[in-house]
């Protein structure tokens, strides 16, 4: 882990640590993700009601995973929707980042893993399916750089674009926890971290750590 990592403060509750994970830490986390994805494969999530596929593929680690499907919509579930098995555990390195950066009195329960390939993106949304809205969301980026967009608590609030590169760690806390955000696109060829596993020309993996239930 890079000791020179600097926290960059930009707006209420939004924090970015560029390059917090050095190359060796990125490789170790990538390997931990792919090892778990053999047990809990990336699958195609679907929008509530329409059943339209999202362009990212997803899996989860931890006791709870965020899922969406046509019939039952957005929610957290303890089992993978296709294997019906519990999600694998959250990689230790990710838990350690949560402890070090978040200052929250309980561990995360969900680690959503988004896989962006080709033209995959994510529309503006608020993470609002958690009871524990007092807990930050911690995001770890691996692979190609994302053009991330973040605005305010209203969809009509002005937004700005932030580049998230491999090894960057970002926190949404306070006001930013309720802010609209999304991913406009991935910049292909900006990282050599993810050359394999059926990825055409790299791609990006994002892990978000979330506390779902209120701690007792
Ligand atoms: C998300 O909002 O769940 C993912 C954001 C990202 O991929 O950086
Ligand atoms: Fe989100």
The closest-lying atom of ligand 1 relative to the alpha carbon of residue 116 is: 7
169 lines ligand 1 (CB under 6 A): no
Give residue 126 CA to ligand 2 midpoint distance, Å. 6
Structural domains of the chain, ranges and CATH numbers in brackets = 4-210 (2.60.120.590)
Structure tokens at 90: 């959250």
3-state secondary structure of 148: strand
Residue 63 sits at the vertex; the CA angle it makes with 116 and 211, to the nearest 5 degrees, is 75
What pLDDT score was predicted for residue 31?
97
Nearest CA residue ID for atom 8, ligand 1: 206
**pLDDT tens readout for residues 112-129:** 999 999 999 999 999 999
Percent of residues, the chain, with pLDDT higher than 70:
92
The reported pTM is: 0.94
Distance (Å) from CA 56 to ligand 1 centroid: 10
Cite the DSSP H helix spans in the chain: 23-39, 92-102
Residue 195's pLDDT band, with cuts at 50, 70 and 90, is confident
Top mutation candidate among 182, 194, 209, 210 for ligand 1, by most atoms within 8 Å of CB: 182
With a 6 A CB cut-off, is 181 part of the ligand 1 pocket? yes
Q: What is the pLDDT of residues 5-50, one digit of tens each?
A: 333 444 689 999 999 999 999 999 999 999 999 999 999 999 999 9
Which secondary-structure segment (H or E) carries 171?
strand 169-172
């Amino acid at each position: 882990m890079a000791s020179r990592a600097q926290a960059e403060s930009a707006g209420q509750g939004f924090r970015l640590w560029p390059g917090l994970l050095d190359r060796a830490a990125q490789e170790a986390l990538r390997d931990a993700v792919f090892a778990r994805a053999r047990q809990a494969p990336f699958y195609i999530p679907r929008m509530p009601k329409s059943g339209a596929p999202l362009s990212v593929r997803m899996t989860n680690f931890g006791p709870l995973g965020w899922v969406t499907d046509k019939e039952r919509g957005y929610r957290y579930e303890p089992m993978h929707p296709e294997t019906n098995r519990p999600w694998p555990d959250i990689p230790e390195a990710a838990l350690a980042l949560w402890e070090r950066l978040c200052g929250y009195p309980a561990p995360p329960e969900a680690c959503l893993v988004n896989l962006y390939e080709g033209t995959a993106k994510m529309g503006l949304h608020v993470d609002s399916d958690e009871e524990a809205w007092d807990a930050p969301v911690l995001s770890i980026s691996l692979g190609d750089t994302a053009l991330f967009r973040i605005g305010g608590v209203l969809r009509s609030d002005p937004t700005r674009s932030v580049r998230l590169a491999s090894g960057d760690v970002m926190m949404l806390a306070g006001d930013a926890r309720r802010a609209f955000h999304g991913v406009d696109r991935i910049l292909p060829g900006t990282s050599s971290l993810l050359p394999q596993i059926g990825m055409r020309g790299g791609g990006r993996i994002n892990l978000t750590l979330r506390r779902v239930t209120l701690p007792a």
